[in-house]
Chain A
Amino acid sequence: MKARTSWNVVCKVEDLVPESGVAVWTEDGPVAVFYLPHRLPALFAISHTDPFSGSNVLARGITGDIKGEPVVASPLYKQHFSLITGQCLEDETVKIKTYPVLLDGDQIRLEVPVNKQETAAA
Chain B
Amino acid sequence: MSKHTLIVIGNGMVGHHFLEQLTATAAADRFHIKVFGEEKLLAYDRVHLSEYFGGSTHADLAMGTAEWYAENHIDLHLGEQVTAIDRENQTITTPMGDYAYDELVLATGSYPFVPPIKGNEHPHCLVYRTLEDLDRIRASAAGVKTGVVVGGGLLGLEAANALKSLGVNAHVVEFAPRLMPVQLDTDGGALLKRKIEELGVQVHTEKATTEIVDGEHARLRMNFSDDSHLETDLIVFSAGIRPQDTLARASGLDIGERGGIVINNQCTTSDPHIHAIGECALWSERIFGLVAPGYTMARTLAAALNGDREAAFTGADMSTKLKLLGVDVGSIGDAHAQTPGARNIRFNDEKVGHYRRMVISEDGKTLLGAILVGDNSHYDTLLQYALNDITLPDNPETLILPESQGGAPALGPDALPETASICSCHNVTKGDICGAIDAGCSDLASVKGETKASTGCGGCAALLKNVVDSELEKRGVEVSKDLCEHFPYSRQELFHLVKVNGIRTFHTLIRDHGKGHGCDICKPTVASILATCWNEHILATDHVPLQDTNDTFMANMQKNGTYSIVPRIPGGEITPDKLIVLGEVAKEYNLYTKITGGQRVDLFGATLSELPAIWEKLIAAGFETGHAYGKSLRTVKSCVGSTWCRYGVQDSVGMAIFLENRYKGLRSPHKIKMAVSGCTRECAEAQSKDIGVIATENGWNLYVCGNGGMRPRHADLFATDLSDEALIRTIDRVLMFYVRTADRLQRTSVWMENLEGGLDYLKQVVLEDSLGLGAELEEHMEGLVGTYQCEWKTAVADPEKRKRFREFVNAPEKTDPVQQWTTERDQRRPVLESETA
Contacts and interface: CB of A to CB of B under 8 A. Distances in A.
B485 A20 contact: no
Contact of A20 (B545, B560, B811, B816): B545
B559 A63 contact: no
Given A17-B804, A23-B809, A76-B557, A65 B815 contact: no
B802 to A, nearest CB: 13
A113 interface: no
A66 B520 CA distance: 10
A62 B803 CA distance: 18
Interface in A85-121: 119-120
Given A19-B545, A61-B549, A66 B485 contact: yes
A105 to B, nearest CB: 16
Interface in B448-469: none
A71 B519 contact: yes
Nearest to B562: A55
Interface string A25-53: 10000100000101000000000010001
Contacts of A67: 485
Given A55-B559, A61-B520, A122-B811, A30 B545 contact: no
B549 A57 contact: yes
Contacts of B803: 15
A55 B558 CA distance: 10
Contact of A54 (B541, B550, B811, B833): B833
A122 B813 contact: yes
B559 A36 contact: no
A62 B545 contact: yes
Contact of B520 (A25, A76, A78): A78
A68 B520 contact: no
A8 B547 CA distance: 30
B714 to A, nearest CB: 31
A67 B486 CA distance: 9
Nearest to A35: B545
A25 B814 contact: yes
A62 B546 CA distance: 7
Contacts of B712: none
Given A57-B561, A60-B552, A75-B549, A66 B519 contact: yes
A10 interface: yes
Please indicate which of the listed interface residues A57, A62, A120 has the most CB atoms of chain B within 10 Å of its own CB: A62
Nearest to A64: B519
A63 B545 contact: yes
Interface in B789-837: 803-804, 806-811, 813-818, 833
Contact of A23 (B545, B559, B807): B807
B817 A53 contact: no
Nearest to A16: B809
A38 B515 CA distance: 13
Nearest to B559: A53
Given A20-B544, A64-B520, A120-B817, A55 B560 contact: yes
Interface of A: 10-11, 15, 17-20, 22-25, 30, 36, 38, 49, 53-57, 60-68, 70-71, 73, 75-76, 78, 80, 119-120, 122
Interface of B: 485-486, 516-520, 522-524, 541, 544-550, 552-553, 557, 559-561, 608, 803-804, 806-811, 813-818, 833
21 contacts: A11-B809, A11-B810, A19-B544, A20-B544, A22-B806, A22-B809, A23-B807, A24-B808, A25-B811, A53-B559, A54-B833, A56-B818, A60-B552, A60-B553, A62-B520, A62-B547, A64-B522, A75-B548, A76-B557, A80-B520, A122-B814
